[in-house]
Amino acid sequence: MSTRCLPAAQLTGSGRPVFISGEVESSLISGVDIEPVDQNPNLSPLKSGILILTTHRLIWISDSSSAAISAFAIPLSAVIHIFSPKKSIKAMFASPRIRIQVLISPQNGFVDEKGSKSMVITIVVRGKTDPEAFLGKLSEAWRGRAWETLKVESSSSTSTDEGSSRSGLRTRSAVVGVAGILRKEQEMWESTDKSLQEAFQDLNALMNKAKEMVMLAEKMRQKLLSGPSTQGSGTNDEEIGSKQEMQDWMLSVGIASPVTKESAGALYHQQLSRQLADFVKIPLEKAGGMINLIDIYCVFNRARGTELISPEDLLQACSIWEKIDVPVMLRKFDSGVMVIQNKSYSDEEVLARIKTLVLKPDALRSGVSASDAAMTLGIAPALAKEHLLTAESKGLLCRDISPDGFRFYVNLFGEILAEDILLVKDYGTYGAWISAVLASR
């Protein structure tokens, strides 16, 4: 099978496309074939995949259930014509088709916006989606020419590298110190504020503005990221510090192209699930491999900006993880608390750390509370409590209910003989506990 005339599209670990800067997803349909109209040695038909339309590209991703996921993209900049659908008796019975004409390079036949020859590609829609609506969005995106605005901007800020022709996506960089960033940010907020006010005038306008705003955030992020490299000498520590802080802050703000019900339709939860799996990686790493579902809900929605999801959507997205190959999972504790954890996360390791904790002399004497354990394990107190309860149910710990709440002690009951309650073995935890208590008197 040869697909070399289409550029490959990069995918994330869980099978979501990697978007280029400023790119926003606008529609998604399933059960799509892509095939050339005439026989072409460079393009054999691609069968039943997902087609994602963005402001910049058409991305085709092979069916996720197959072993190796492959993905290809047609840059909209290479499209020169979109045929209107044929109205014929024959067309009524066949699967709906969308035909587009794309430029190809005369030398090797690759899809190329600078090509002088062209070929016609057919998109066959076998799924139950509405091809008319998709065609409408496609034409809209194509006429929107989002890739050109980017180019103009980049050429105005720096000299564009003419050599990189594919989509003009070189990151731009002309930032003058933190003050510059802050001023620019201020200006952007003002214009964002304006656009917000405009947007609220009518819902359709809001949807358009939302895309603009996401792009705005993404652009700001790009500028910040490229800042340090061009900064050169003369940066003092304070500047670096505040820049770092701002970067962290900005990074936590942006998912550039959130999966929405509007864009993904029936595949909404599945795509959301994949995006979520990509997203939780960093927060999970920071939290030590396990994080409360509620925390993720807040962080995820904050990152999505205007396209908020409901708790039900989040729960559904998490439960889909079981069916697809992602490195994270949803876990429900006996108490009903739900968390997201890495699949590689092991309870044994946590139990071992809890055991070390409760065997320290202080803990032997006065026990540990959930917040003590949270500090030692570096996790949230609510989670620490779940771990302590798990350890208790395994017989490692037992509890004492004091005015300050629960305190957990290492379980000594197993070591004491009911036949001789005064007997203390010289070795073992019971002995260690007695000496710890005596030492405190």
Partner 1 sequence: MQTLGNFKLPNFFNYPPYFTLQPVRDTREKQVQLWKELILDYCRTQKIFVIALDEEFPLFSNPVIESIAGSLNHEARQAFLSALVSEGRAEWMHKGHRKCLILWHRIQDWADSIVQFVKDNGLEDTVMTVEEIRSGVESRGTELHGIDRTILMRALKLLENKGKLVIFKGSSADDEGIKFSL
Give me the residues that bind partner 1 (CB under 8 A), please.
367, 392-393, 395, 398-403, 407, 409, 411-414, 416, 418, 421-422, 424, 430, 433-434, 437
Bridge partners of residue 36, in order along the sequence = 121
Q: Which is nearer to partner 1, 413 or 427 (CB)?
A: 413
Q: For the sheet containing 338-342, what is the strand order?
A: 290-292, 338-342, 328-332
The Cβ-side half-sphere exposure at 263, using a 13 Å CA radius, reads 22
Is the backbone of residue 48 left (phi > 0), alpha (psi -120 to 50) or beta?
left
Q: Which is nearer to partner 1, 179 or 401 (CB)?
A: 401
Helix axes 347-358, 381-393, angle to 10 degrees: 90
Enter the tokens of residue 89: 């008796």
Closest separation between CB of residue 287 and partner 1, Å? 28
Q: Which is nearer to partner 1, 106 or 405 (CB)?
A: 405
Closest separation between CB of residue 430 and partner 1, Å? 8
Q: Which is nearer to partner 1, 162 or 404 (CB)?
A: 404
Q: What is the phi/psi pair of residue 100, to 5°?
A: -130, 150
Bridge partners of residue 82, in order along the sequence = 100
Q: Are strands 46-54 and 57-62 parallel, antiparallel or unpaired?
A: antiparallel
What is the C-alpha separation between 84 and 67, in angstroms, rounded? Answer: 36
Closest separation between CB of residue 433 and partner 1, Å? 7
* DSSP classification of residue 288: T
Closest separation between CB of residue 311 and partner 1, Å? 30
Q: Which is nearer to partner 1, 67 or 423 (CB)?
A: 423
Q: Which is nearer to partner 1, 268 or 430 (CB)?
A: 430
Closest separation between CB of residue 432 and partner 1, Å? 12
* DSSP classification of residue 329: E
Closest separation between CB of residue 395 and partner 1, Å? 6
Closest separation between CB of residue 414 and partner 1, Å? 6
What is the C-alpha separation between 166 and 7, in angstroms, rounded? Answer: 10
What is the C-alpha separation between 318 and 428, in angstroms, rounded? Answer: 44
Q: Which is nearer to partner 1, 27 or 369 (CB)?
A: 369
